[in-house]
Amino acid sequence: MELHELIRQGEGERLEFKKKTTHPTRIARTLSSLANTHGGRVLVGVDDDGRVVGVRDAEEEIYQLRQAAAHYIDPPLVLRFHEVEEEGRVVVVVTVPESTDKPHRAQVADGDWRAYVRVRDESVQTSQLTERLLERQDAGPRFERIPLNKEELAVLDYLRKNPRITLAQYMKLLNIGQRRAFRTLIKLTLHGYIRHHDKEREVYY
């Protein structure tokens, strides 16, 4: 895909803009969150507004990214790199494939490793619940009857009347924050009450 076309899409679940790689631990969160979700790309040399600023030294950026993927993420990731020149400025396009070996944890401090997933355009730290879902994704959902609270029942009630619900719709429906809403949807997915669909632009349940 052409660079401008990618930038036009804006940051999202599968795309992140970075002016430069400041430190392996910071980029490790982004890389691991993409691998833990649906894969995606990082455009290094593009600022948050989508302007191409270019990188000073593409080799140095690639070295930092490789360091992050090999030493600051567990299990390590294999990335693909592609350099694009735009009006004399170089952008490093980093492709992060969706992993079959989830969850990947990023080192946030000495001895402190945490897993992240993408929620829209952010890398969000997972709960143990989400990690269990990531580990079990390949095994397929099993239905487990669990006691449900008011917020969880509201999702099922909504889905009886509507074909699908997105994270944003659910946040609006109950007027709750993103993290809490995401946690509830993950919990219901984990126990087989709802299914997670990610083949379209926006994830829905």
pLDDT at 6: 92
Of 202 and 193, the one with more pLDDT:
193
Give the number of other Cβ atoms within 10 Å of residue 167's Cβ.
Answer: 18
The one-letter code for the residue type at 86 is E
Of 183, 28, 46, the closest CA to residue 107 belongs to 28
pLDDT given at position 149:
86
Q: State the amino acid at position 20 in one-letter form.
A: K
Distances from the Cα of 32 to the Cα of 52, 88, 141, angstroms: 24, 31, 23
CA distance 84 to 89: 8
- Provide the percentage of residues in the chain whose pLDDT is more than 70: 88
**67 within 8 A of 76, measured Cβ to Cβ:** no
pLDDT of residue 97: 94
The span from the CA of 103 to the CA of 117, in Å, is 9
Q: How confident is the model at residue 86, as a pLDDT?
A: 87
List, for residues 98-155, the tens digit of each pLDDT value.
998 888 999 988 888 988 888 778 888 877 666 666 766 655 555 667 788 888 888 8
pLDDT on residue 76: 95
65-108 residue pLDDT tens: 999 999 999 999 999 999 999 889 999 999 999 998 888 999 98
Residue 37 confidence (pLDDT): 87
Q: Find the distance separating the first CA and the last CA of the chain, reported in whole Å.
A: 28
- Residue given tokens 């270019």 in the structure block: 54
pTM: 0.69
